[in-house]
Amino acid sequence: MKAAVYHRTGPPEVLQYEDVPDPEVRSGGVLIDVEAVSIEGGDVLNRAGGMMAGDPHIVGYQCAGTISQVGEKAAADGAARGQRVVATMAFGSHAEKVSVPFAATWPVPDGADIVAVACVPVAFGTADDCLFEFGRLEEGETVLVQAGAGGVGLAAIQLAKRAGATVLATASSDEKLAALTDFGMDHGINYRDNDAAEAARALTDGRGVDLVVDPVGGSTLAASLRALAYRGRCITVGNASRERQPLDVSSLMGGNQSLTGVFLGAEIATPRARAMIAGHIDDVAAGRLRVVVDRTFPLAEAAAAHEYIESRQAVGRVVLIP
């Protein structure tokens, strides 16, 4: 099969389009003919400097396609050739085929756009956990979504608005912010022109926000803490900024505030998370929630796709098509 691989971590150009052996199907697993690959933020970070499972390494957390082979135990659990599924994995999505446990898949509803569904589990599952499982968002509260134009950001805006929250979001341009209003954003903050914490406080009459969802980290995380109201909660869910710097959390004490780290991967196999993600897949398929695909690239152009993501031009997801 063909795959986008790298032999060393580094900039996007380390990605090469090469022939590699087909993956083997295990007893409890399935082999998927990949039709759409949602490039996740973690894929980009891992390519830049993460762990490699082998040489060459195939990066990628998530894809969707059609089951072509079924292991014996997976067949007993209901897997069958020809089923369309979306799957998550530790690595391997940037390829024409991927082998995963059947338990790591969700069915694609009949008539659903497989490209859209390919983008659901990680982004919407992460946003849901940040807002509700760990963020404890309630109707009537105010939430600030950092990097609102990203995949997790767009999911969080929609879910928070549906839950009855007032939604603030940041983005790098007024054009991006204008696009977010269609998804439920009440107030936008251009972080290039404004201090996000000060703007959030101004928009809440000085009170601050009840919850922040922050996938950026670094100096943005410090601003997120400054934006919190009394008893506010901040969720850190990534380090897209790649900044490594000390963070003084002593200010949290005076406001009885909290900072919580969230990693969907530690929860994704639980019955709770699987059911939650299945619900979001159904909602996207039915049009109750929306996935934004900014651009698609052929798998052979994975390097260009990663470069485009790093340019921060995208609104929503960037998808590879084998």
Q: Which pair of tokens denotes residue 281?
A: 């897949």
Choose the CATH number for 2-119+291-321 among 3.30.1540.10, 1.10.300.10, 3.90.180.10, 3.40.50.720.
3.90.180.10
Q: What percent of the chain has pLDDT over 90?
A: 94
Q: Where do you find CATH 3.90.180.10 in the chain?
A: 2-119+291-321
Buried b (16+ CB within 10 A) or exposed e, 223-238: bbbbbbbeebbbbbbb
Give the pLDDT confidence of 285-296 residue by residue, as tens digits: 999 999 999 999
pLDDT band at 241 (very low <50, low <70, confident <90, very high): low
Q: Does the structure show a pLDDT above 90 at 257?
A: yes
pLDDT band at 247 (very low <50, low <70, confident <90, very high): confident
Average pLDDT in the chain: 96
Give the pLDDT confidence of 143-158 residue by residue, as tens digits: 999 999 999 999 999 9
**Mean pLDDT of the region 237-242:** 79
Give the pLDDT confidence of 175-191 residue by residue, as tens digits: 999 999 999 999 999 99
Q: Where do you find CATH 3.40.50.720 in the chain?
A: 123-265
| pTM, full prediction | 0.95
Q: Which pair of tokens denotes residue 267?
A: 């929860």
Give the pLDDT confidence of 87-109 residue by residue, as tens digits: 999 999 999 999 999 999 999 99
**Mean pLDDT of the region 123-136:** 98
Q: Does the structure show a pLDDT above 90 at 63?
A: yes
pLDDT score of 239 = 81
Q: How far apart are the first and last CA of the chain?
A: 10
Beta-carbon contacts of residue 85 (< 8 Å; ≥ 6 apart)? 30, 32, 64, 65, 66, 67, 105, 106, 107, 108
pLDDT score of 238 = 83
pLDDT score of 194 = 92
Q: What fold does the segment set 123-265 form as a domain?
A: Rossmann fold (3.40.50)
**Mean pLDDT of the region 266-283:** 97
Q: Is the peptide bond before 56 cis (omega within 30 degrees of 0)?
A: yes
Q: What percent of the chain has pLDDT over 70?
A: 100
